[in-house]
Amino acid sequence: MQMEQSISSYHEIIRELSEIESKLDMNIDTTLWISDPHGAGERFVSILKGRFGLVWRTAYEALPKTFSNEKLEHIDRIIKKEKYIESEDFSMERQDVIAALVNIIRYKVQCVQDFDQIRGNFNRDVKPLIENLILNFPVPNIVYENDIIADKVISSLAKIVKQVILGQLIVLGDVFDRGDEPDKILRILMQKDLKPFVKFVWGNHDILWMGAAAGNKSLIAEALRISVRYDNLDFLKRLGIDISRLRDFAEKLYPGKITGNFKAKLEISKKMEKTLAMIQFKLEEQTIKKYPQLGMESRLNLEKLAEMFKTGQTSGLTDTHFPTLILDDPLRLTEEEEEIINDLAHQFTKSKQIRRLMEYLFREGKLYHINNYIMNIHALVPSTEDGRFDELYGKKGKELLDHIELTVKDIGENYLAGREQEPFQLAMMFYLWCGPKSPLFGKDAMKTFERYFYKDKDTHKEKTLYWGKNIQKPEFINRLMDEFNVERVVFGHTPVDVKKGEKIATPDGRAINIDGGFSEAYLSRGHALIQTPYSLYAIILPSSEEIIDLHRKKEPTRLTFEMIDTFPEPKKVRDTYIGKELMRRRDYLLAELKKYKGFSDIEAEDLY
């Protein structure tokens, strides 16, 4: 009996060793990065469908170098449209198109497991033909001679190319706010066929909504204020949030035209925006006073505002109509404000629609993610002016980020289990949203109050702290690489305007900012980053206006590439962090295998 168990283990070791060696020699998966979509659902979908730039680059790597740019662009169009295309200016024989598509699939499908995963999605009409083509088995001439069958094969192969072309999608946060379809983006990421390939890194706007869902009332007021500011009322309706009581209260407070720097387009949205802003500011300042360890006393504005009214020094204000401001107790909510926020908080924390989105973020999201020796983070690692890691909660660097992630995960588990939250942890979610040492923010303050109510625009400026300057310094980058055992860092959060000459990557390519102002509220452009076995490059996406103009002119979408690095030999799994783990496991199994020396001599005689 003991020998039978040992022999079984012997076979298991050989099987696992075979799988490990096969995996180590495979090319790394192709990875696509997207950052800061900010609710721009349609643009997000277009990127995933079109695989902006990825199709062309993969075809370039997979096909013979004799393929001209003209042929590559034609294959790119066929794959994107998933059908054979003929045009007056250029076309390819169907047989050549089929051969090219098969070569691309073979380049991406590197093992039996990969092939088995895609086999289930083959078009049943031509499944035997597709299998034989990919496996390099003979196929009948009718595949090439009959245009109807050839077109069916081409369409099927193009779909398979789209399926296998992307191995991993990394989203660097900020799905929420600005645009009106963050729920659409998250539903796409949660889809059964895509979810296993997605790595989600939290942004500060995601943390805002996560903290709100967990019960932080100031964050609830803020999340709703931003939604009405951008007139995303249909989005709130989809989440099951009834704002009718808020609307009625806002109408009662501000029966005439609204005053102040409120940016919503709809007048009722402006009124709700101002109502929520005052509730938000009161609740925030209550938190700041309750927890002085947050170090945010500079954000106590309401007492200063009340003093201005008491002394009559209001000439510097954009707005002097504050019906809910209690001059002798400016941080106190009025009775009606209390009722409104309690009603909204109940709806927010009990909404099944919000819960479904938040479950994905809390369970699947991370503060940072390391892949192929690349650190992926939304914004930054807190640092000091002299290029050292800054301290928060008595921790810094990797220890700080790991501590914050565990705390957010704990808040998430309490929320999902319906347990009461620890008050300071909820206060920490507020700090992560807008605190100066938050790894998700990186500015001295969020000046929403000043932008609304102060005429002096100098008071509106938010001072960016030290990350941007530090990542230009080799000594800081070296410190960061050593701290996290990585070779590069990829981040978003601060839009890069390439039209003004700003660079996506540092000169050495070790720090890469891929926030290109995705939504219309920013630059309406966006960047994507792609790593293939042979290269690492950024794509500058066209703006919405540029896409419309190209469609009007019936011209293909032109993408701008920024090559960051190329690899003389394809990067293999053995070159990655996962590869190093696999090699450690392989060495252990090889040592174990030595214990079974001699078993192979008796296999045939005793076991079969």
Question: What is the tens place of the pLDDT at every residue in 129-174?
Answer: 888 888 888 888 888 888 898 889 888 888 888 877 777 889 999 9
Give the chain's length: 608
At residue 451, what is the residue type? R
Q: In Å, how far are 12, 49, 367, 503, 522 from 496, measured between CA atoms? A: 51, 24, 22, 7, 10
What is the model's pLDDT at position 3? 45
Q: What are phi and psi of 252, to 5 degrees?
A: -70, -40
Quickly list H helices, 239-351.
244-253, 267-290, 302-311, 335-350
Mean pLDDT of 181-200: 89
Q: In Å, how far are 31, 127, 359, 433, 437 from 495, measured between CA atoms? A: 21, 46, 28, 18, 20
Question: What is the tens place of the pLDDT at every residue in 478-524?
Answer: 999 999 999 999 999 888 877 788 888 999 999 999 887 676 766 56
d(CA 111, CA 106): 9
Q: With 60 as the cut, is the pLDDT of residue 602 above it?
A: no
What is the model's pLDDT at position 158? 87
Q: What are phi and psi of 565, to 5 degrees?
A: -160, 150
578, with CB counted inside 10 A (0-12, 13-18, 19+), is: middle
What is the model's pLDDT at position 175? 93
d(CA 485, CA 478): 10
d(CA 225, CA 215): 16
Give residue 368's region: left, alpha or beta (phi > 0; psi -120 to 50): beta
Q: Which of 272-281, 371-380, 573-582, 597-606 has the lowest mean pLDDT?
A: 597-606
DSSP SS3 for 470 = helix
Quickly list H helices, 312-447.
335-350, 352-364, 397-417, 423-434
DSSP SS3 for 219 = helix
Q: Which of 499, 505, 502 is nearest to 523 (CA)?
A: 499
Q: How many CB atoms lie within 10 A of CB 412?
A: 19
Quickly list H helices, 120-203.
127-134, 142-145, 147-164, 182-189
DSSP SS3 for 498 = helix
What is the model's pLDDT at position 53? 63
Please list, in sequence order, all residues whose beta carbon lies within 8 angstroms of the beta carbon of residue 424, skipping any fewer than 6 positions away: 291
Mean pLDDT of 108-122: 64
Cβ atoms of 265 and 231 within 8 Å: the answer is: yes
C-alpha torsion 481→485→489→494, nearest 10: -80
At residue 404, what is the residue type? I
Please list, in sequence order, all residues whose beta carbon lies within 8 angstroms of the beta carbon of residue 420, skipping any fewer than 6 positions away: 414
Question: What is the tens place of the pLDDT at every residue in 434-468?
Answer: 999 999 999 999 999 999 999 999 999 989 999 99
Cβ atoms of 406 and 414 within 8 Å: the answer is: no
Which residue, chain included where needed, has tokens 């400016």? 330
d(CA 103, CA 109): 10
Cβ atoms of 449 and 301 within 8 Å: the answer is: yes
Which residue, chain included where needed, has tokens 């996290």? 484
Helix and strand numbers, DSSP H then E, in the chain: 26, 11
d(CA 240, CA 353): 7
d(CA 187, CA 200): 13
Question: What is the tens place of the pLDDT at every residue in 221-268?
Answer: 999 999 999 999 999 999 999 999 999 999 999 998 888 889 899 999
Q: Which of 45, 30, 57, 31 is nearest to 172 (CA)?
A: 31
Q: What are phi and psi of 328, to 5 degrees?
A: -85, -10
What is the model's pLDDT at position 454? 94
Which residue, chain included where needed, has tokens 């979908």? 45
